[in-house]
Amino acid sequence: SEHDTLLEVSGLRAGYGRIVGVDDVSIAVRAGELVALLGANGAGKSTILRALSGMITPWSGSVVFDGRDVTGMRSDTLVRAGLVHVPEGRRVLARLTVEENLRLGAFSRRDRAGIAETMDQVFTRFERLAERRHQKAGTLSGGEQQMLVIGRALMSRPKLLLLDEPSLGLSPRLVHEVFELIRSLAADGQTVLLVEQNVVQGLKVADRGYVLTTGRVTSAGDSAKLLADPSLVRSYLGGQ
């Protein structure tokens, strides 16, 4: 129903200087859903996440989050509202420990007991981070750093988690692990908007997907429906 729509993006246009990144994009995410933004390199997926999280300012269109118009709001305001972005590139603070990195993710919270509780939950979910909690983040493997940036985002208890290509550059085994983790977060009720270049892999993990081509949505629907579309699958399998 309309009531459980957590995010509604209408007619979004955004870009960089004169470069149009996305043009007239409309998408929605309901509470509890795992939705994927799919498409080739440069299609505009990251631009959507950046415009949603305040990293760039939309040129036009509107973003309604949790019943409130948040178009053009600043990142820290959005984090407080429950919209948290994990950008591409897994930027951890290399010289801080795992625990210190996680603590930074709770910057918007004041409840010490609640923060400690969330950290326990993160360590329960990510056992390898728990084992390395006093280790400097720079010494972690790529897969562990990806877990850490996701864990850091969870420290703010987001209503909506925006994940940009968490599998990028990981070995096939770690890609599988990261997708399993995202699936388990979603199974526990976390709403996720996931950017993924690999259309087939993204659809296998998500409930629904939007396929972008040069800044516009060109296909959308339930993952099963999109996976059953031979022309779509063929056009993206060719490129991998």
Q: For binding to ligand ATP (CB under 6 A), which residues are involved?
A: 16, 19, 21, 39, 41-47, 197
Smallest gap from residue 37 Cβ to ligand ATP (A): 8
Smallest gap from residue 239 Cβ to ligand ATP (A): 12
Shorter beta-carbon distance to ligand ATP: residue 102 or 226: 226
3-state secondary structure of 150: helix
Shorter beta-carbon distance to ligand ATP: residue 47 or 223: 47
Smallest gap from residue 152 Cβ to ligand ATP (A): 21
Token code pair at residue 192: 């996720």
Smallest gap from residue 41 Cβ to ligand ATP (A): 4
Shorter beta-carbon distance to ligand ATP: residue 105 or 215: 215
Q: H/E/C letters for each residue in 92-134? A: CCCCCEHHHHHHHCCCCCCCHHHHHHHHHHHHHHCHHHHHCCC
The phi-psi region of residue 136 (left if phi > 0; otherwise alpha if psi is between -120 and 50; otherwise beta) is: beta
Comparing C-alpha atoms, which of 25, 84, 93, 31 is closest to residue 54?
84
Q: Which residue has the tokens 């979004």?
A: 12
Pairing of strands 208-213, 34-38: parallel
Shorter beta-carbon distance to ligand ATP: residue 11 or 67: 11
Shorter beta-carbon distance to ligand ATP: residue 39 or 105: 39
Smallest gap from residue 19 Cβ to ligand ATP (A): 4
Token code pair at residue 176: 């599988």
